[in-house]
Amino acid sequence: MLRRIDLSGEVPGYSARALRELMPRAAFDVNEALRSVQPLIDDIAHRGTAAVVDIVERFDHVRLEHLRVPDAAIKTAVEELDPELRRAYQTSIDRVRAAHEAQRLPEVVTEVAPGGTVTERYLPVGRVGLYAPGGLAVLASSVIMNAVPAQIAGVGSIALASPAQKNNGGLPDQGILAVAGMLGIDEVYAVGGPAAIGMFAYGTDECAPVDMVTGPGNIYVTAAKRAVRGLVGIDAEAGTTEIAVIADATADPGHVAADLISQAEHDPAAASVLITDSADLADAVDDELARRVPDTRHSGRIQTALAGEQSGTILVADIDEAVAVADAYAAEHLEIQTADAREVALRIRNAGAIFVGAYSPVSLGDYCAGSNHVLPTGGCARHSAGLSVHTFLRGVHIIDYTREALAAVADDVVAFANSEDLPSHGEAVTARFEAR
């Protein structure tokens, strides 16, 4: 079922660039999407609320009287939440909070010379806009993954936006409202897609502009983030979701197939990639896919994703080659289902998150592992990390020198300044020691 790319024994012969170019990837042209998104963002910049209302009506077929969700609707969503689902939400909240509390950064004071210190303080951004998708999949889990790290970082003002749902009276999904209420977020907007990003960036008469926008979304949300980047901070330009699985002959083909299917369920353009040194395992996984896919609820979407150019099986000679391929692919989610899985995992350099062994599937990370599921895609794990408490913090240096400490380094500053033809820089130091 998965197309095959046979690289057995050939991996060492490829340059890093050539190996990356062989990897299956979803087409993801943000610039093309930006052509249709930019006019929407510009309209919001000029007309504010009126533009947001028009855009929501055009794309979500709901005419909003107010962008902001009433407090009573959030309270009702919490009160009417199914007890089983509430327990699942709370488990996720508790575990994400526990894992992310460990990411707090202490203030660090370094004495670089007698009388000269540099203090590093980590300060939260003042206000963030969090986005929770509501298209093919309505992701209440994304509210948790974005809001909890922001709260731990100490962000003082948090706003949440999610698309208006016609079948919910023009409000966002009830699960998203319930999670917001459980987290104490009362500023929620029934606005989705590029309109939400534009609203956050430029502000409206109901929504004050933010300093940073985070949260996953489709290519049009990503294009909107690109359009406002610089005016506000963003977490990342996330692409279509992806999973790679390194598996050897010891892996259970049923587990591997189930995990590839679970990621394909997200989107017809989702990527599911198997990396293996066992042709027999690859055959067995194909058999499992053929058996399982027709019985899934979203079989059409899954079949399209698995058959696409972004998915496939990569055959390698051994685990060393599998690690090299995985690093070239730099998956958003990477599973290791091999003998000595943890040892293999510790050899990986490039991945958004790594799931070790038969009992750490990606879907655990989507909800209740405690890790964050907002992760770099499209090979960006080579240089970027997933969303965390650090996303919402800025390192600020405080420089504190005594007269004596400045005097001790004055000649070096002057030498540097003169070498760069900026003599006034040096004079700003020597002026402090001139006789008056």
The verdict on whether residue 337 carries a ligand-binding annotation is no
CB count in 10 Å sphere of residue 349: 11
- 311/14 Cα distance (integer angstroms): 21
Known catalytic residues are 332-333
The verdict on whether residue 6 carries a ligand-binding annotation is no
- 264/4 Cα distance (integer angstroms): 17
The verdict on whether residue 61 carries a ligand-binding annotation is no
The verdict on whether residue 165 carries a ligand-binding annotation is no
The verdict on whether residue 411 carries a ligand-binding annotation is no
Q: Which residues are annotated binding-site positions? A: 241, 263, 266, 333, 366, 420, 425
Q: Which residues are annotated binding-site positions for substrate? A: 241, 263, 266, 333, 366, 420, 425
Q: Which residues are annotated binding-site positions for Zn(2+)? A: 263, 266, 366, 425
